[in-house]
Amino acid sequence: MLRFISDSESTRNVTSRLLVTSVITSLLLFGAVSPSFATVNFSATLPLAGNPINPTYDFEKSFYIDYPAGSKLQSILQGKNATVVFTDNATSDPALKTFMQQINTDIVSNEHSTAVLTNLVVDYQLAINGYSDHASFDYKIVLTPTVTGYVLNTASGDIPETFDASWMAFNASAPVSINTNQYGPIEINYPIDAIKSQMPDLYNALKGTDAYSVFQNPNLLDATGLFSQQPVDKWDSLFDPAYTLTETAGYGYQGQKIAVTTFSSGLSNAFSGTLHVNNIDEDFTGSDGLKYHISTKEQANAGTINIEGHANPNKVQGGWTFTTTAQASNTTSTVTAGGTSTMMVYGMAGFAGVIAVGIFWWSNKKMKEVVREVDTGPVHYEERHHWADKFDGTPGSAASTSSPSNPDDKPKRSAI
């Protein structure tokens, strides 16, 4: 008995399996997304010990100018490849120290926070690339401050520890000029000023146009959208009550058992709502009278805050705080920071596993149903003759096997 599988049926089953696999993968990876670049991408870790921390603010914004052939801006920008890259520290640069003090003033007066920046490191990068029909201007500024005084009260008995979070959303609206050895004075907060110092011919060509206003108006070092665009109580949160001993050195815990609550933002969903970005996309007239186009590209503000313990966000007098306990209490040990029962989460994961097993079993059963058994009937054989027999008149010669006289006496295929 020979077994055959229908091509169409097998193809459909392979396709079904691929679809089932995709669905299951989507279920298992629901909510897992790659991170994206943003106007400000914030990251911080808050330990219960209240040690000085070094959060990072990654500010990014891109500008694009499209120009026609033979235009003034094309002659300036085509083939242009320039970068401005430097690192500075408030401990060695008085100008940057003054900027740090301006941030501290904003934190106290506008954010009503007790946190203090004691040091500040700036990593600045501007990349200008000109092509035949357009040019791009990519700004990236990373601020790494040293922050103290963010603990409002320490844990005592049933009283949780409280972290101040208002300082995270500061706005540095003043110009920030830094004296660099490579490029001279560089103003890092307003995009147009870096063009003015590094490409004065381009600056003069843009001055007086609508494009000049696009470069001039926004200050890059504005983190207020971190909370205003998506309130902390709308951030995604995850708390794992199972303690871990791995990678504690990076958090400064020296091997203690820790649990961490993670809050993250920057994604549109049904719970947090849609995040809107005000990108610019408009035409303008250059100083040479020709039509140009300018656009900007940025994404939603994003943040990741890791807090030691079982943490929850709270809004106090218009500012955000986090309360946290070293470990979940008896009344809260089965509840995540987002309010979802951990038993429910584990149950949903187990249920998804059962569904996956059931789908694979069903798929395999359907696969077997399309396997068919085909009866080919008896296999006929005939005696094999030597090729020379047809010349000597022996049975099997040309005379005796030239053509069958009976239609049923058709030659049979040799078994060998």
Strands 177-180 and 184-187 come out as antiparallel
Whether the CB-CB separation of 186 and 93 falls below 8 Å is answered with: no
pLDDT tens per residue, range 347-368: 666 667 777 777 777 777 766 6
Q: How far apart are the first and last CA of the chain?
A: 20
Task: Please give the share of the chain, as a percent, with pLDDT higher than 70.
Answer: 65
pLDDT band at residue 250 under the 50/70/90 scheme: low
Q: What is the mean pLDDT of the segment spanning 39-64?
A: 94
Taking the C-alpha atoms of residue 225 and residue 201, their distance in angstroms, rounded to an integer, is 34
Q: What is the pLDDT of residue 18?
A: 44
What is the token pair recorded at 274? 């849609």
pLDDT band at residue 290 under the 50/70/90 scheme: very high
Average model confidence (pLDDT) across the chain = 77
Phi, psi at 285, each rounded to 5°: -105, 130
The CB-side HSE value for 407 (13 A sphere, CA atoms) comes to: 0
Q: Has residue 416 got a pLDDT over 70?
A: no
Q: Which has the minimum average pLDDT: 86-90, 173-177, 310-314, 403-407?
A: 403-407
pLDDT band at residue 301 under the 50/70/90 scheme: confident
pLDDT tens per residue, range 188-199: 999 999 999 999
Q: What is the mean pLDDT of the segment spanning 76-96?
A: 94
User: Which CA distances in Å does 328 have to 49, 235, 263, 338?
Assistant: 17, 20, 17, 14
DSSP characters over 350-396? HHHHHHHHHHHHHHHHHHHHTEEEE---PPP------GGGGGTT-TT
Q: Which has the minimum average pLDDT: 248-252, 289-293, 298-302, 406-410?
A: 406-410
